[in-house]
Amino acid sequence: MASTELSSPLTAERQLPVSHRPPPGRKAAGRWLIVVSSCAFGLVVVAQGLGATGVIGFAFDTWRPSLYAFLLWCIALGAGLVMTKGERGHQLLFLLPALLFTVAVVIFPTFFGLYIAFTDWNLSSVGGRQFNGLDNIRTLLGDAFFWNALGNMVWYVLAVLVQYAIAFGLALLLNAEIRARKFFRVAFLLPFMLSPVAVSWMIGKSILEYRFGPAATLARLLGWDSPAFFASAWLARSSIMAMDAWVSIPFIMILLLAGLQALPHEVSEAAKVDGASPLQTFWKITFPLMLPVSLTAVVLRIIFELKLADIVINVTAGGPGGATDTISSFIYREYRDRSNVGYGTMLAEFYLVIIIVFVTGLLALANRLMRRFT
């Protein structure tokens, strides 16, 4: 943070490449560059907008000219900032590309999505899109499948706690005095690396397959006559949860293991000397000390869990009867199978609002827990 006074009087005369205060001429030129490029960018966009809506007779095939104008504007803005602000401009230049990229790529889709959400746009209808006010919201409120999917999300999010418990156990095992630790660590990490789509086939469609899958064979050996893992609602949901857990437990485990390794050894040693049982040591010492890491891991996992889609889309497509549907997989089918773009986007925006409220609450709760226990 001390770097704002990078040029102490001692070094001022030796700072050749970047002058601290740019000469007035360059400053004015920089300001002009920003103004002119902004005007040019605005003009291109307005002209394209008029062309696209047919107000003027001339139109491009694509919106690429606007894209190029935007890119040129970004470069001009960067150069202009350096010219007007000198050293400060260079510092801003570090941040600018990432910021402009994110704003451009997120802001447009969000606002455009909000517009689509209030239309009855269906790709298969010839009429194009029509503004239909609050109709989509009304449909959404009465859509039993959407609320069913939202209910499923509650179960999927709760399953994260089970993943956390298992991951904690594995992290403790890996942290114990064992041989071949490297082998076990790599083996435990591997499921996290695999793509959920491949996992959908490897586990969902082959190992859990009703006729020849090894899991079904094993279940028959154990006396379960018809091991159909995706037939009943709860069984199907549990199978999806198990697959999801298989992929994501390593993530939590790695975080917890790093937390365990960072714990001071003296504390648990002292507890052992004082005659505490391992269980007591865990509940009274390890677990409270691990709370910050645990909260980070669980919150991150819940945020990722809210996007769960790939496995559901590829294994059950939401079935049986919507029992395994997540919001994402439900909206995916709305787009893909019914081309219901307007309504699907309304669902997505509505879900985003729920997520933001939920995650904000979750972070507040996590902060509160953190303050109480540490």
Partner 1 sequence: MNLALPAMKPRRKVVSSRVLIYAALSLWAFISLFPIYWTVTTSFKLAVDVTQGHLIPWIDFEPDWRGWRSLGLSPDRIVEVSTARQEFLQRFANSITASVGASLLAIAIGAPAAYGLSRFKYRLGPWRNDDISFFFLSQLILPPVVLALPFLVLYKSLAMLDTKLGLIVVYTLMVLPIVIWIMRDQFNAIPNELEQAALVDGASVWGAFTRIVLPIALPGMVAAFILSVVLCWNEYFFAALLTSTDAKTLPVMVASQTGSQGIDWWSMAALSTAAIAPLVLIGIFLERYIVKGLTAGAIK
Contacts of 96 (CB under 8 A, 6+ apart): 74, 77, 78, 81
Contact 152, 241 (CB under 8 A): no
Cβ nearer to partner 1, comparing 28 with 151? 151
Cβ nearer to partner 1, comparing 76 with 289? 289
Residue type, 177: E
Minimum Å gap between C-beta 193 and partner 1 is 4
Helix-, strand-, coil-residue percentages of the chain, each rounded to 5: 75, 0, 25
Closest CA to 139 of 120, 123, 163, 152: 120
Minimum Å gap between C-beta 73 and partner 1 is 16
Cβ nearer to partner 1, comparing 33 with 170? 170
Minimum Å gap between C-beta 43 and partner 1 is 19
The distance of Cα 346 from the centroid of its chain, to the nearest Å, equals 19
Cβ nearer to partner 1, comparing 28 with 350? 350
Handedness of CA 352, 357, 363, 369 (dihedral sign): negative
Minimum Å gap between C-beta 25 and partner 1 is 21
Q: Is 65 exposed, middle or buried (0-12, 13-18, 19+ CB in 10 A)?
A: middle
Contact 362, 304 (CB under 8 A): no
The distance of Cα 208 from the centroid of its chain, to the nearest Å, equals 29
Cβ nearer to partner 1, comparing 292 with 319? 292
Cβ nearer to partner 1, comparing 38 with 314? 314
Minimum Å gap between C-beta 92 and partner 1 is 7
Alpha helix stretches (DSSP H) within 54-202 = 64-85, 87-117, 135-141, 144-175, 181-193, 196-199
Minimum Å gap between C-beta 97 and partner 1 is 4
Q: b/e map of 146-180 (b: 16 or more CB within 10 Å)?
A: bebbbebbeebbebbeebbeebbebbbebbeeeee
Closest CA to 192 of 241, 238, 252: 252
Cβ nearer to partner 1, comparing 112 with 283? 112
Cβ nearer to partner 1, comparing 40 with 59? 59
